[in-house]
Amino acid sequence: GAGVSQSPSNKVTEKGKDVELRCDPISGHTALYWYRQRLGQGLEFLIYFQGNSAPDKSGLPSDRFSAERTGESVSTLTIQRTQQEDSAVYLCASSLVRYEQYFGPGTRLTVT
């Protein structure tokens, strides 16, 4: 594909519901990253995939957050029992290992 794509672009959900965010990386990129960007704040690292495994999950803020990657391609970030503080833009990036990361447009999540 031309670049990293994410879906949905916007998601509004009620507090307590579960949400799934999807990332399609650039074909052939073995590394995939999830970040969160709260309004007016810098990006926060959430999780890093190398292939289908996640050697670094240190940024996941709570056990309500999980992510998986299949086929060394698409990844989903799942947030269970969403809270208002989960409202943010969730960005995905992909790269060849140790090379420049290419970011997707993000999913704007609003928890009401």
Kindly list the residues in this chain that would bind other proteins in the complex (CB under 8 A).
Answer: 4, 31, 33, 35, 41-45, 48, 50, 55-56, 91, 93, 95, 97-106
Count of CB atoms situated within 10 Å of the CB of 109? 21
Give, as one character, the DSSP assignment of residue 45. E
Taking the alpha carbons at both ends of the chain, their separation in whole angstroms is: 34
With respect to other proteins, which residue has the nearer C-beta, 10 or 15? Answer: 10
Q: Quick one: 37 or 80, whose CB is closer to other proteins?
A: 37
* Matching residue, tokens 């503080």: 85
CB of 71 to other proteins, least distance (A): 21
User: What is the gyration radius of the CA atoms in the chain, in angstroms?
Assistant: 13
Least distance to other proteins, CB of residue 81, Å:
27
Q: Which residues contact 10 (CB under 8 A, 6 or more apart)?
A: 107, 108, 110
Q: Which is nearer to other proteins, 33 or 82 (CB)?
A: 33
| CB of residue 75 to other proteins, shortest distance in Å | 15
CB of 8 to other proteins, least distance (A): 14
